[in-house]
Amino acid sequence: MLTASKEAEKRRKQSANALHLERAAKHAAALPTWEKSILPNWHEVLKQDAQGRALKKLWWDGTMPVLHRGRLWNLCIGNALGLGKGAYSQVSAIALRVVAEGGFTDADRRRMDDDVAETLPVLKMFQLGGVMHDDLVDLLVAFSIYGPGETHYPDGVSYVAAMLLLNMAPNEAFVALVNLVHKSCLKSFYSSDSDEEEGYFRVFDTLLADYLARVYGNFSSQVVRPSLYLIPWLTTAFVKFLPLDLSTRLLDVFLLEGDSFLFRVALVLLQLLEPRLFTPSHAELEETFRGEDRGAVAIVRREKATGFEDGPRVERDEVSQFGNTCISRV
């Protein structure tokens, strides 16, 4: 048995090394295209001709160079609000004054601190004492003062902000975050406009009925509203529930494809979790949607598509596989 175990481990390592070499070769082969065709004129990706489809496939295949991710994300998000290079400094100064005058309430601060403490904990960079903790807090306070809605700190935004900070400087991350929220469905979920939220819930209910009829019927009979899962999933852009590599991969495509991609991801997750959704207990469902149910985590791991922060490392091949399922399954 010991010999068999050693042989199995040897084969596993050989397979992992082969995959690593294959991924490295794939990235090396794609790099010239990213640097010569996409970065100089990234709008070519949006064209519906043969070249545009080929370039978009690179985006979906997960070959985006880490070195250029921040720039590519900024290109996708744009700056429709016309914020200048000094916008972050100006808003930060205003935020300091608002905080000093008590405009940023203790309740807002507690909610923000709770989110920061749980943001990408495997990295240990954003928690108190971490090297990027202060950058994240300053960015969140500035956004809270500048951002949408009457509630100063929108729950979940720290996860999106942290992903931006991992790929760009704080002043760039501020401009990107404000513009991303302004142009996407995140604006509705971060604001206090319940009518806009309800509009998205109704649209998703229609999609759920069309593509996952059994799940829709089950949720209808149990009065499980889309808010139970869409709010925690979308406000964090799934970053809270999925491994970093996968979260990054999904953000790559979300920034390119727009809001519809987030809803397709939600449909795929519900499809993967379907065996755990037929329970009369709302508490158990909430645990499933928060990634705290061990059975649900095991199901998603078995699909080699996701996994949660305490799960195994997700390789880029599996990340690409999951991204592709969002098209093939929906």
Angle at 161 between CA 255 and CA 68, to 5 degrees: 50
| Residue-level pLDDT at 327 | 39
Nearest to 62 by CA among 330, 329, 328, 324: 324
Predicted pLDDT at 149: 56
Cα–Cα separations (whole angstroms), residue 19 to 12, 14, 22, 227, 315: 11, 9, 5, 39, 9
Instruction: Report yes or no: 234 and 185 within 8 Å, Cβ to Cβ.
Output: yes
Q: So what's the pLDDT on residue 284?
A: 82
Domain map of the chain by residue range? 2-63, 87-184, 193-328
Concatenated DSSP letters for 4-53?
HHHHHHHHHHHHHHHHHHHHHHHHHHHHHHIIIIISTTGGGGG-SSHHHH
* Token pair recorded at residue 14: 């050989």
pLDDT at 200: 93
How many other CB atoms sit within 10 Å of the CB of residue 2? 6
Query: What's the rounded Cα separation, in Å, for the pair 68 and 146?
Result: 28
The fold of the 193-328 domain, in CATH, is Cyclin A; domain 1 (1.10.472)
- Angle, CA 237 vertex, CA 263 and CA 121 arms, to 5°: 145
Q: For residue 6, what are the CA distances in angstroms to 14, 154, 253, 260?
A: 12, 50, 40, 46
CATH of 87-184 among 1.10.8.270, 1.20.120.1750, 3.30.565.10, 1.10.630.10? 1.10.8.270
**Fold matches, 87-184 and 193-328:** no
Can you give the pLDDT at residue 318? 38
Q: Do 270 and 215 form a contact (C-beta atoms < 8 A)?
A: yes
pLDDT in tens, the chain (330 residues): 778 777 777 777 777 778 778 888 888 999 999 999 999 988 899 898 998 999 999 888 889 999 999 999 999 999 999 999 899 999 999 999 988 888 888 899 999 999 999 999 999 999 999 999 999 999 999 999 987 655 589 999 999 999 999 999 999 999 999 999 999 999 999 987 778 899 999 999 999 999 999 999 989 988 889 999 999 999 999 999 888 888 999 999 999 999 999 999 999 999 988 888 887 677 888 888 877 766 665 555 555 443 333 332 323 333 344 444 443 444
Structure-block tokens of residue 308: 């949660």
